[in-house]
Structure 1
């Protein structure tokens, strides 16, 4: 894999308040440059949601209502988040969740493409016993000891998913081969479906 052929790509992770649909309480982005995550060039921010964080959500990401009490609201951080994301590919584990939440909060934004490391792992590692992020990190012997923070915080999870993406990408000869395996159907960056001529004729 020639990482120099990659477009601008940000690994993203979001955390929510447990509402349905969720309000954002944390967003993190980490770029990949020359085949390496660059967390020092990433962004991570806490967000004060319009509705309280549920006890269930706090139990997962350990972000409390007190933690975000003095954080900016989404309307204050949205322009910076969109400026960071504009023009870039994004990647995430189980990416439809992050893509859906970000799209709802940024209705004028569309990524250049969406890579799902869960989909990619299933294609690349058919013998893996499980496909949760923790299970894949263990299966691929990826160390997370140097990642700051804790699991289920946006910055930590984005960095961990970035390490997984780079590891899995090494199995593919080209960017095009990678995205063929990694981009879910009907998401930005997916190959356009082809329709056989006989099916086109049947429509008329």
Structure 2
């Protein structure tokens, strides 16, 4: 894999407040450059949601209502988040969740493409004992030493997913081969058939 052929790509992760549909309480991004995550350029922010964080959500990501008391509301940071995400590919584990939440909060935003590391892992490692992020990190023996934060926080999960993406990408000869396996149907970046192609009668 020639990582120099990759477009600008950000691995993203979001955490919600447990409502349905969820309000954002944390957003994180980390770029991959030359085949490596770049933690120095990572961005992560807590967000004060309009509705309280549920106890169930707190049990998962350990973000409490007290933690976000002084955090900015979404409206005050939405423009900066969109500026960071404009004109890039995004990647996430089970990407339709992150993509759907971000699109609901940023209706004028559309990434250049969406890579789903869950879909990619199922294609690349079909015999893995599981395809959750935890199972794949253990199966691939990816070293998480040095990642700041903890599991189920957006910054940590984005960095871990970036390492997983780089690991899986090594199985593919080209960017096109990778994206063929990694982009869910209907997501940005997925090739569409040429309806103008002539039909042989």
Q: Secondary structure at the match of 2:98?
A: helix
Q: Any idea what SS the aligned residue of 1:25 has?
A: strand
Instruction: Quote the Cα distance in structure 1 between the aligned partners of 2:181 and 2:3.
Output: 16
Structure 2 equivalent of residue 128 of structure 1: 128
Partner Cα distance (1:16, 1:40) in 2: 25
In 1, Cα distance between equivalents of 2:194 and 2:178: 19
| Equivalence for 2:51 | 51
CA RMSD of aligned residues (A): 1.5
The residue that corresponds to 1:101 in the other structure is 101
CA displacement at 1:145 relative to structure 2: 1.9
Matching residue of 1:92? 92
Q: Aligned partners of 2:3 and 2:134: how far apart in 1? A: 25
- Cα distance in 1, alignment partners of residues 116 and 142 from structure 2: 18
Q: What is the match of residue 6 of structure 1?
A: 6
Aligned pairs for 1:107-186 within 5 A: 107-186=107-186
C-alpha distance in structure 1 between counterparts of 2:131 and 2:172, whole Å:
19
Q: What's the secondary structure of 1:190's corresponding residue?
A: coil
CA shift digits 1:51-91 (9 cap, x unpaired): 00000000000000000000000001101100000000000
Structure 2: any 5+ residue segments left out of the alignment? none
Q: How many residues align?
A: 200
User: TM-score, normalization: structure 1?
Assistant: 0.95
Q: Tell me the residue number matched to 2:66.
A: 66
In the TM superposition, structure 1's runs of 4+ consecutive aligned residues that sit over 6 Å from their partners are 195-198
Distance in 2, Cα, partners of 1:170 & 1:80: 33
Encode CA deviations 1:86-127: one digit per residue, 9 max, x unaligned. 000000000000000000000000000000000000000011
Note the C-alpha offset of 1:185: 0.3
Q: Which runs of 5+ in 1 are unaligned?
A: none
C-alpha deviation, 1:197, in angstroms: 6.8
> Partners in 2 of 1:164 and 1:108 — Cα distance?
29
- Partners of 1:98 and 1:63 lie apart in 2 by 18
Distance 1:117 1:146 in 2: 22
